[in-house]
Structure 1
């Protein structure tokens, strides 16, 4: 019987494992650390799950946080003074992955998936490949960082374009209607304000995307553990100066929930090769951030990781030979969505001048604003809208 080994216990690895177990395929998930440590550890991300991902959760029987109860159904945009709201056809939802991933790991184990805690490096891949018919690498961190070669044509950046400062906060009045607020301070960076369910209950995630060397970059230099008052004061000052759409709803009791609930760092976007030969006609298939890393500014990372896992699971279940032909078929099946998300995100990180025409047009056309927002569910469609000035104008003209 076919067996699959999955290295990496993030959303890509867990969704793949759950989908394969639903198809009756034996799975071993190799996790770098125990899930109890993950749950008690520092903030992992502030990602929102969009409707297609939530539908996959329902199909897998792991939709534990219904979007109707915990989600939101709109995006409020504030872009250099231009304001508009776009509404989703179906709601999205954000749950702290320190709650999400351990719960799904329990689901996987309860359905017969094996979870093995061990560090895996490049030298271990041959051993693991010998245990399984197919090895899937679903983590691009640590010793496996850069395992799969970059595809230069789809990886224009060799350094981070933003400094990420993401934290969980109380003391922000919710937007009306409940929504993610996307603020853009031209030349300085972006802010995503996300209603999120955490171990503290409902909180607000503030994901600052700061231009290196800009005025907001100071947020990545301060430690709330060392000087909580200075950190709070600086965040408030920068909100008021650069992100007024969020600052106008800040209350007197505004505070970071816990020093562990802050993530400071940076991401270098990259698209990597889909697979790697391991010898003896065995292959490692790339998944999740081992394959495509996008900056979190458009909130696509977890969503495309889940999508890629679903495509891979369907192809694994439909085949019995996991050779280069199989790997190339997986690559073709998922390419348009993954490359669309990557290209769209990179465009936002280095916006062309004509992107301002889009924001002005959306501010004056609620129907197009809703369509643009709905396309967060469909990054391939969004890229077809945004790829060129001609396409943007055709979208605004309704052609």
Structure 2
């Protein structure tokens, strides 16, 4: 029987493990920390799961949070004074990963996958590879962060383009209809307002994407634990000044749910090599954040990680030899979607002047706004529409 070792217990590693167990492949998942520690720890992200990911959950039997009950069906946009709404064909859903990941780890263990809490560094990879036919590295943080070299032709940034300040809040009246609100403050950054199911119940996630050195960068310097009143006051002031579409629905009860429900940091986008030889005809295959890291501004990270895991699982189940030829076939199979999501996200982080034409066109044409929104499910389609000024104009005039 084929045996696969997976390093990393995020959505990429867990979706891969579950898909492999469905194909009767032996799986050991190596987690950097226990699921109890993760569940009680600080906020991990504020990701939304789009329809293709939810369909994979259904196929894997882990769709525990039905989008019909917990999801939303639209994006409201506020971009430099322009307002428009785009609607999904199928709903998306956001669930706190401190709930989501431990539940999927339970599912994996119940289906015969082994979950082992173990820190693995580069020096341990060779020894670990002897226990498995293939190692899949799905952790892009910690000691394995530089394992796979960057591909400079697809990695234009060597530093973060945004400072991330993401938190869970109560006291914000929901948008009508239920939706993610995407606010763009030109020159200052973006705000994603996301209805999210948390351990506190339904809350609102505010994901500030702040330009370094800009007027909202102060949000990354304040601690709600050290001075909760100052933090709340500053968030409210910045909302009213730069993101009025959200500020107009803030209630007197507005508050961060808990100091641990805040994530402050930054992401350097990168596309890395697909695989690495470990010696002795063994290879490590990159997955998730170890392979492609995108800024969260377009909400693609978890979705492309799950997509990549599905591709890798399909290729493993169809193969018995996991050599360089196998690794190169995996790279070709998943490349279009992953590179498209990365390129689209980078375009938004450094918007060309003609991107304003897109926003104005979408505000005029609800059908195009719906298509643009639906393509959050399909980054390869989105990139074909947005890659150049000519493509944007053809999309708007089609």
TM-score by length of 1: 1.00
1:140-151 equivalent positions in 2, closer than 5 A: 140-151=140-151
CA shift for structure 1 position 171: 0.2
CA shift for structure 1 position 283: 0.3
CA shift for structure 1 position 42: 0.1
Match of 2:52 in 1: 52
Match of 2:252 in 1: 252
Give the Cα–Cα distance (whole angstroms) in 2 for the partners of residues 33 and 169 of structure 1. 27
Give the Cα–Cα distance (whole angstroms) in 2 for the partners of residues 365 and 107 of structure 1. 44
CA shift for structure 1 position 157: 0.1
Match of 2:326 in 1: 326
CA shift for structure 1 position 64: 0.1
1:148-187 equivalent positions in 2, closer than 5 A: 148-187=148-187
1:113-143: CA deviation from partner (whole Å, max 9, x where unpaired): 0000010000010011100000000001000
1:58-81: CA deviation from partner (whole Å, max 9, x where unpaired): 000000000000000000000000
Match of 1:373 in 2: 373
1:27-74: CA deviation from partner (whole Å, max 9, x where unpaired): 000000100000000000000000000000000000000000000000
In the alignment, does 2:104 pair up with 1:104?
Answer: yes
1:1-399 equivalent positions in 2, closer than 5 A: 1-398=1-398
CA shift for structure 1 position 150: 0.2
CA shift for structure 1 position 348: 0.2
1:284-337: CA deviation from partner (whole Å, max 9, x where unpaired): 000000000000000000000000000000000000000000000000000000
Give the Cα–Cα distance (whole angstroms) in 1 for the partners of residues 68 and 128 of structure 2. 41
CA shift for structure 1 position 146: 1.2
- SS of the residue 1:30 aligns to: strand
CA shift for structure 1 position 366: 0.3
Give the Cα–Cα distance (whole angstroms) in 1 for the partners of residues 312 and 128 of structure 2. 19
CA shift for structure 1 position 388: 0.1
TM-score by length of 2: 1.00
Ranges in structure 1 where 5+ consecutive residues have no aligned partner: none
Give the Cα–Cα distance (whole angstroms) in 2 for the partners of residues 157 and 2 of structure 1. 38
Query: May I ask how many residue pairs the two structures share in their alignment?
Result: 398
